[in-house]
Amino acid sequence: MLIFEQSHTGRASNAQLPADNDALSSLPADALRTTKPNLPEASEMQVVRHFTRLSQKNFSIDTHFYPLGSCTMKYNPRACNTLASLPEFTGRHPLGPSLHGQGFLKCMYELQGMLKEVTGMQAVSLCPAAGAQGEFAGVAMIKAYHDNRNDTQRCEILVPDAAHGTNPASAVMCGYKVREIPTGKNGDVDIDALKAAVGPQTAGIMLTNPSTLGVFDRKIKEIAGIVHEAGGLLYYDGANLNAILGKVRPGDMGFDVIHMNLHKTFSTPHGGGGPGAGPVGVSKRLKPYMPVPIVGKKDQQYVLLDENDCPQSIGRMSAFAGNAGVLLRAYIYARMLGREGMPRVADFATLNANYLLKRLMAVGYDAAYPERRATHEFILTLKKQAKELGVTAMDVAKRLLDYDFHAPTTYFPLLIPECLLIEPTETEAKETLDGFIDTMAKILVEAEGDAQLLKQAPYTLPVRRLDDVKAVKQLDVVWKKTEVKQ
């Protein structure tokens, strides 16, 4: 039942109503609202019960194995939330003086430093709100760099066909045309196609390495050479940083600008869709263009550097300093990992992925790249099952839900037919992986015996498969009741 359907005119969460204030109002009558908004009228307990019950209809990391590829669903340490929620942190006004923020700013300054070190970049700005905004900031810096050199013919950004959808969308928001580069047979970028595509019109390339295909592009240095030779810059999509944390650094691979998804690699919660944090790191030549504010140090005080300190900056991405509370959680996590914990993340994420891949292949699934080493994630393709049994990747995904496992990412990357992108992360124990493997094996047996069983799944969740076509055709995105006059 919707919260609105539990509403009773005249009921309220009375402890939440502020006391009457007998001061006068100066508002003119014609500026006032005359209709009552459709907000619930409910007691505090009703509200608490309703939303607690809703929460119980979710799968989450705290309740389920959640191997959603490319999303790095690892355990979100509770300490990060508790400590970032200390009242001085949650109560700090963003425009308050840096005097009342030395503790917070010191954390941010040190976070910039740690991210610089672990990525091998020259400087970091924390302000982008998520990966996609980091991409926007990064490509905007590439544009500012070329523009500043009067190199204005560079109108194209190269994007591999395996790239995440945000990559081409971000490039277009920066005013660029997008040219797709195909992937070679082995999962690496097709070098000949790249060579043919670069030229004086190339502003840069956006790459993920390891790519979204779950393999590390071994020719990365050669790619960097080809793009740089043509006068373009290299953008690193850091969504897969978990695979290489403390092992290889984007800066050493030759990238000029990167974003990191702290809500993936640095374990801040996804919150059912967000928030994230997408800090950007840059090489020396892009440093002047970084988005502001940036945390700096002046006379032994931590301060926010702004447009006056960074006159060539591409500007601001949000009203204040980005998703500060997310950054604080990432800082706490980074301090708990420390220098020895960071490479361990990559070690065990990779161990778990390779173990899972090996055993899933053994029970009868096909890897998209069987001859390649898995990184922190890998792809299965159900092309064969789709053809022979009529069972799709989506059917397997939905059936997994019945067995209490969240599904892997489905149908991404687009170039692998009937794919499941599986990312176990380092925080899962072997017995969880074993349970998942047994279930996948069982589902394969089911598929061979009774494909219809899978096509109708799931059966045990609050709802069965939903009619997405109807959701679009008979668009119902807002609950309505007839307006009541106040």
Ligand X SMILES: Cc1ncc(COP(=O)(O)O)c(C=O)c1O
Which member of 370, 472, 482, 485 binds other proteins (CB under 8 A)?
Answer: 472
Stretch 128-157: interaction string toward other proteins, x if CB under 8 A: -xxxxx-xx---x--x--------------
| Alpha carbon 196 to its chain's center | 32
Give 123's strand partners: 282
Closest CA to 82 of 293, 327, 332: 332
Indicate the residue among 387 and 427 with the shorter CB distance to other proteins.
Answer: 427
Minimum separation from the CB atom of position 196 to other proteins (A): 20
- Within positions 161 to 180, which residues make up the interface with ligand X, using CB under 6 A? 164, 166
Minimum separation from the CB atom of position 251 to other proteins (A): 9
Two tokens, residue 140? 């905007």
Which member of 68, 80, 111, 132 binds ligand X (CB under 6 A)?
Answer: 132
- Within positions 14 to 43, which residues make up the interface with ligand X, using CB under 6 A? none
Residues 135-144: b if buried by 16+ CB within 10 A, e if exposed = bbbbbbbbbb
Stretch 79-98: interaction string toward other proteins, x if CB under 8 A: x-x-xxxxxxxxxxxxxxx-
Stretch 281-320: interaction string toward other proteins, x if CB under 8 A: ----------x---------------x------xxxxxxx
Two tokens, residue 410? 């489905």
Indicate the residue among 4 and 411 with the shorter CB distance to ligand X.
Answer: 411
- Using CB distances below 5 to 8 A depending on partner kind, what does residue 463 bind out of other proteins, ligand X, none? other proteins
Closest CA to 197 of 254, 155, 154, 158: 158
Q: Is 198 strand, coil or helix?
A: coil
- Using CB distances below 5 to 8 A depending on partner kind, what does residue 449 bind out of other proteins, ligand X, none? none
- Cβ-based neighbours of 111, under 8 Å, separated by 6 or more: 126, 327, 330, 331, 334
Residues 145-165: b if buried by 16+ CB within 10 A, e if exposed = bbeeeeeeebebbbbbebbbe
Minimum separation from the CB atom of position 197 to ligand X (A): 21
Which member of 67, 70, 310, 372 binds ligand X (CB under 6 A)?
Answer: 70
- Using CB distances below 5 to 8 A depending on partner kind, what does residue 208 bind out of other proteins, ligand X, none? ligand X
- Within positions 396 to 435, which residues make up the interface with other proteins, using CB under 8 A? 397-398, 401, 406-407, 409, 412, 426-430
- Within positions 91 to 130, which residues make up the interface with ligand X, using CB under 6 A? 130
The whole-angstrom separation of Cα 405 and Cα 435 is: 9
Indicate the residue among 208 and 392 with the shorter CB distance to ligand X.
Answer: 208
Alpha-helix residue ranges (DSSP H) falling in 390-449? 393-402, 430-449
Tell me how many residues contact other proteins (CB under 8 A).
201
State which amino acid sits at residue 325. Answer: G
Instruction: Tell whether residue 170 is a contact of other proteins (CB under 8 A).
Output: yes
Indicate the residue among 112 and 166 with the shorter CB distance to ligand X.
Answer: 166
The whole-angstrom separation of Cα 111 and Cα 413 is: 32
Contacts 24+ apart (CB under 8 A), 190-193: 191/219, 191/222, 191/223, 191/226
Instruction: Tell whether residue 75 is a contact of other proteins (CB under 8 A).
Output: yes
Instruction: Tell whether residue 253 is a contact of other proteins (CB under 8 A).
Output: yes
- Using CB distances below 5 to 8 A depending on partner kind, what does residue 93 bind out of other proteins, ligand X, none? other proteins
Instruction: Tell whether residue 212 is a contact of ligand X (CB under 6 A).
Output: yes
- Cβ-based neighbours of 452, under 8 Å, separated by 6 or more: none
- How crowded is the C-beta side of 99, counted as CA atoms within 13 Å? 1
- Cβ-based neighbours of 478, under 8 Å, separated by 6 or more: none
Indicate the residue among 389 and 427 with the shorter CB distance to other proteins.
Answer: 427
CB 101 within 8 A of CB 92: yes
Instruction: Tell whether residue 131 is a contact of ligand X (CB under 6 A).
Output: yes
Indicate the residue among 166 and 392 with the shorter CB distance to ligand X.
Answer: 166
DSSP designation for 25: P
CB 112 within 8 A of CB 295: yes
Q: Which residues bind ligand X (CB under 6 A)?
A: 70, 130-132, 164, 166, 208, 212, 237, 239, 261, 276, 278
